[in-house]
Structure 1
Amino acid sequence: FTDYCASKFAAVGFAESVDLEMRSLRKTGVKTTIVCPYIINTGMFDGCGSKWPTLVPTLEPEYVAEKIITAIRRNQEILVLPRALYFLFALKNILPVTVTVLVTEYLGSLHIMDSFKGRAKED
C-alpha cells in the first residue's frame, strides 16, 4: 500500500511541478492531466474493496479509460474518480491531519488493502 501511495504522490508532484514550470516559462503547448482513480477492477487490485461501494465503487477499466481520454482532450488539470473523491481532495488540504485521518478511517481507506491478493506470480 505504501509503495503504491508513494509512487502516486511522486507522480502528482511531478505533474504539478511540470505544469508550474511551463506556466512560469509561458510555454502553453505542454499540458498535464493528473489522474487519481480509486480501485479499478483489474488484477492489480484483486481482493481490494470499498467499505462504501455506493459512494466509492470499484471502477471498470473501460470507464476509467474513457474518462482519462475525455479529460486529456479537455485539458483538464486533474481527474479524480469517482467524482465523490474530489470532496476528500479538497478537505485534505484544509483540515488538520488528525481530522483527515479520522475521515480516512471512517471511509475504510486505511484498510483497503487488508484483503489484497494482487497478481499471481508467473513461473
Structure 2
Amino acid sequence: MTKLKDKTILITGACAGIGKALLIQGLIQKAKSIIYLDKDLTQVHRLYHEFQPTHCELRGEVVDISNPNEVKEIAQQLAEEDIHIDILFNNAGVMIGKYFHEMQTEEIDLLMDVNAKGSMYVASALLPRMIERKQGHIVNITSIAGLVSCPQMSVYCASKWASTGWSESLRLEMEQLKTNIKVTTVQPGHVNTTMFTGFKSNFLTPTLTAEEVAKQIVKGVGKNKIFVRMPFMNRLSPFIKGILPVRWFDLLIGRGLGIYDSMANFEGNNPLKSKEEKVTN
C-alpha cells in the first residue's frame, strides 16, 4: 500500500485545481517532502508563501513540462541532491475547447505537448531511479475524456486517450519487468476549475470539486488501485461502452444524458490567449 506519510512526492501543475488539492492532502497526511512544478514563477512563489509548512519540506520549481530539456534538468538536479521521488503525481494539463476545424496548429501542439507528452517526459526522467531502487508509484491524472469522446473536445480527448493508453501500457511494462513500480491511472469527470468554465454537467455525472477528487486519488493510491474513476457513473462507462453498439451508446450518452452538448456554452481559459494577453498588457 502506498501512503503519503513520510514520502517524497512530486506534483506537476500544483498551483491550482486538483494539483493544489493534492499538495494540501500531502501536507495533511504528513508527507516528508513535496516538490511541485509549474511554469509560472509568480504562482510558484505564491503557493510556497501560502503554506510554508513546518513539518514538511515544500519546494517549488519553475519547469515547463512540455519542454523535455527543462524536465531532464530538474530530474538531474534532484539526482545530484540525492533526492528520491517516492510518488509522482502527473497532474498538469490544459484545455482548449473548439470544433476540430477551428483549432489552430499552436493549440493542437499545446494540448498534445502538455497533456500527453509532458507526463511522459516527467515519468521518463524519474523512472530510471525508481526502477533502480525498486520503489515508486506513478499516478497519471488523465480524464474520462480519455475513454468517452465529446464534440468540441476532439484534440483534448486525443491527448487524454494518448495519456491513458500510455499509462496503462506503462503499468503492464512495470509489472512484466517486476520492478515493483506501481502505476495508477485517474479518470475524473468534470471538475469545477477555470479550465472548464461553462461546461454543462448532469445529475448522473455531477461536477466535482478539486478537493473531493484529490481525496479519492489519495485513497485509491493508498490501495494501489489500477484505475480511479469518479463520479460513480464513470466507473460504469467502460462496461457500458463495451456492451452497447456505438449508435446506442451515442443515443444514451448524447441524447439521454446530454453529454455531447456539454460544451455548448463553454468559455474555459485558453492558455494561449492568456499568454498573448500577458505579452500585450
Q: TM-score, normalised by structure 1?
A: 0.88
Report which of the two has the higher share of strand: 2
Match of 1:111 among 257, 261, 264: 261
Which consecutive unaligned segments of at least 5 residues does structure 2 have?
Answer: 1-152
CA–CA separation in structure 2 for the residues paired with 1:59 and 1:31: 26
Match of 1:89 in 2: 238
Percent identical residues: 38
For the pair shown, which has the larger CA radius of gyration, 1 or 2?
2
CA–CA separation in structure 1 for the residues paired with 2:216 and 2:235: 15
The answer to whether 1:11 aligns with 2:160 is no
Match of 1:79 among 228, 242, 250: 228
The alpha-carbon deviation at position 69 of structure 1 amounts to 1.2
The alpha-carbon deviation at position 40 of structure 1 amounts to 0.4
CA–CA separation in structure 2 for the residues paired with 1:119 and 1:40: 14
CA–CA separation in structure 1 for the residues paired with 2:237 and 2:178: 31
What do residues 2-50 of structure 1 show as CA deviations (whole Å, max 9, x unaligned)?
12211111111001111112222233x1111111111100001100011
SS in 2 for 1:34: strand
Match of 1:23 in 2: 175
Which consecutive unaligned segments of at least 5 residues does structure 1 have?
Answer: none
What do residues 48-87 of structure 1 show as CA deviations (whole Å, max 9, x unaligned)?
011x23x211001111111111111211111111012211
Answer 1 or 2: higher relative contact order, Cα 8 Å, separation at least 6.
1
Q: Give the letter aligned to residue 34 of structure 1.
A: T
Match of 2:205 among 56, 67, 71: 56
Moved over 6 A (4+): none
Aligned residues: 120
The answer to whether 1:102 aligns with 2:244 is no
The alpha-carbon deviation at position 114 of structure 1 amounts to 1.1
Match of 1:36 in 2: 187
Q: Give the letter aligned to residue 269 of structure 2.
A: R
Q: TM-score, normalised by structure 2?
A: 0.41
CA–CA separation in structure 1 for the residues paired with 2:253 and 2:217: 25
